[in-house]
Amino acid sequence: MQDHRGSAAVSEPEVQRVVSEQQTIHIAGEWRPAISGATREVLDPVDATVLAVVAEGAAADTDAAVAAARAAFDGGKWPRTPVAERAALLRRTADLLDRDRERIGLLESRDAGKTLEEGRVDVDCVAAAFRYFADLAAGGSAGRVVDAGSPEVHSVVVHEPVGVCALITPWNYPLLQASWKIAPALAAGNTFVVKPSEITPLTTVALIELLVEAGLPAGVANLVTGAGDPVGARLADHPGVDLVSFTGGLTSGTKVMRAAADSVKKVALELGGKNPNVVFADACATEEDFDTAVDQALNAAFIHSGQVCSAGSRLIVEEPLRERFVAELARRADLIRLGRGTDPGVECGPLVSAAQLARTEEYVASALAEGAVLRAGGLRPEGPGYFYRPTVLDGCHRGMRVVREEVFGPVLTVETFRTEDEAVALANDTEYGLAGGVWTADPGRARRVAGRLRHGTVWINDFHPYLPQAEWGGFGKSGIGRELGPAGLAEYQEAKHVYQNLAPRPVRWFAG
Ligand code: NAD
């Protein structure tokens, strides 16, 4: 953090607490406290101590931020800045992220409760997203000439920025999710107001600082820290906003969509997932292959304590393999080392909040009451913080809430199948459709199953990788639209058809 808000030393000097003025709202190039003077404590999920104090914005702050973004779009230079210059700013931001990798990675680790290495990787991925959208925008065509069927007409389709974008992000990958929106929004020439999760706002503040340092004109990037309601809700129904891009849960996502309806905003939603990981017995023919499939299933379910929208939280395993697979998975789940993400040897941090911990406990209790068999975890370890042991629930079926609904915690359910058709039917039997994996040694089966899965990303013999150049998003209730890839830029553009008649004459439709 830089010094516009004041700071004090803490036990880890790289993470400075925001203590004095709580000026974490950024509007028209200035850092400010909330108009009301309200603040919010951001807790360290490892021990529930106060990590930072930030401004608690409300509707008035949001209105001021939208007004600044509106003025910068309607009258400012940014939308008309040559795309090469916009791309250069994005690349400078990526370079600054590289420079500050340790600092921001640590901040993310502390704020979101992830391991330091995960925090560092997130920063790398954010820099990659900035570079990808810089290249994509700069390398794109200035327009597409279309054949109007007449030599006397010049007809071209151009892409223009949408306008003022409201960008609302969740707590699990705060910086990464912000970058998937901010980078394409800027590359396309938009202005924006970003609202990070009130639980993990710190790295978004840091990212805005870097954009300012990279030379972004005042008013283009605005930030309001505060609660979903009023800040996010006000952004979603604000008449001065042209597009709202939301990543978060289904409940808030549907509220955003309703709120955006009256002003007919463009809406992009990246919502939850209940993601199947389908393992055929033939994927485990050798000990090495068995070890790989188990290891990846463990990673799919428990990385970042399962607080991943694409977590492989439903293991769907071929019946003859079940007992051996689940036994090994449970054995390894019991070995996962929980702790503070910056401590050596720690593999998993805590859940992000007391609410998330309570939610996880409630889902596990309901699963056990419905007949699930506990094979690992199912408890919180002694001590402070929001830790929960990685949990494997065997004997699950689609009648159980824990199989249908997103837990967003370290809980893996196990279902079984006997035929390929049954595996596909189970994997598709979800209202979501974000991501899924299939493990098989049979390439034909791999392609067949991948083709039949109704999910936005399908991994074959892998789980979790994504590429900035490949679209990310969901079928069904996992959302609307796509982030990343060419579609992730198109989300922030309006297509305009410019039809030029080179030899105008009267139409003479009307005789008089
Ligand atoms: P959430 O829906 O509680 O909050 C997300 C954001 O929306 C926060 O900034 C919150 O303050 C804001 N918000 C809350 N109520 C709002 C309202 N009425 N109007 C406008 N904004 C409002 O979600 P969360 O708990 O922060 O994140 C977890 C969820 O995010 C999970 O469901 C997860 O699957 C999803 N997620 C999806 C993706 C994806 O790519 N599909 C990625 C990450 C997380």
DSSP assignments along 418-458, one per residue: SSHHHHHHHHH-SS--SEEEEE-S-HHHHHHHHHH--SSEE
Nearest CA, atom 20, ligand 1: 232
Q: How far is the CA of 194 from the centre of ligand 1 (A)?
A: 13
Could you tell me the two tokens for 221?
Answer: 């990037």
Nearest CA, atom 8, ligand 1: 197
Mutate to test the pocket of ligand 1, among 42, 54, 114, 168 (most ligand atoms within 8 A of CB): 168
276-460 has the same fold as 8-271: no
pLDDT tens digits, 426-435: 999 999 999 9
pLDDT at 21: 54
From the number of C-beta atoms within 10 Å of its C-beta (0-12, 13-18, 19+), residue 372 rates as buried
Residue-range domain boundaries for the chain = 8-271, 276-460
SS (H, E, C) 233-275: HHHHHCCCCCEEEEECCHHHHHHHHHHHHCCCCEEEEECCCCC
Q: How far is the CA of 252 from the centre of ligand 1 (A)?
A: 6
Tell me which residues have their CB closer than 6 angstroms to ligand 1. Answer: 168-173, 177, 195, 197-198, 227-229, 232-233, 236, 247-249, 252, 255-256, 270-273, 309, 406, 408, 434, 474, 478-479
pLDDT at 22: 81
The span from the CA of 296 to the CA of 181, in Å, is 29
Q: How far is the CA of 449 from the centre of ligand 1 (A)?
A: 30
pLDDT tens digits, 190-241: 999 999 999 999 999 999 999 999 999 999 999 999 999 999 999 999 999 9
Ligand 1 atom nearest to 434, measured from its CA: 41
pLDDT at 7: 33
* 8-271 classified as CATH 3.40.605.10: yes
The one catalytic residue among 270, 361, 415, 420: 270
Overall pTM > 0.75: yes
Residues (pLDDT < 70) of the chain are 1-21
Q: How far is the CA of 84 from the centre of ligand 1 (A)?
A: 33
pLDDT at 11: 41
Compute CA 135 distance to the chain's CA centroid, rounded to the nearest angstrom: 21
Amino acid at 138: A
Ligand 1 atom nearest to 168, measured from its CA: 9
Ligand 1 atom nearest to 226, measured from its CA: 11
pLDDT at 17: 40
pLDDT at 303: 97
Tell me whether residue 270 is one of the annotated catalytic residues: yes
Q: Which fold has domain 276-460?
A: Aldehyde Dehydrogenase; Chain A, domain 2 (3.40.309)
| Those residues with Cβ within 8 angstroms of residue 202's Cβ, 6 or more apart along the chain or in another chain | 1, 18, 42, 51, 52, 54, 107, 108, 110, 111, 174
Amino acid at 231: V
Q: How far is the CA of 100 from the centre of ligand 1 (A)?
A: 27
- Report residue 253: phi and psi, to 5°: -60, -40
| Those residues with Cβ within 8 angstroms of residue 368's Cβ, 6 or more apart along the chain or in another chain | 374, 378, 393
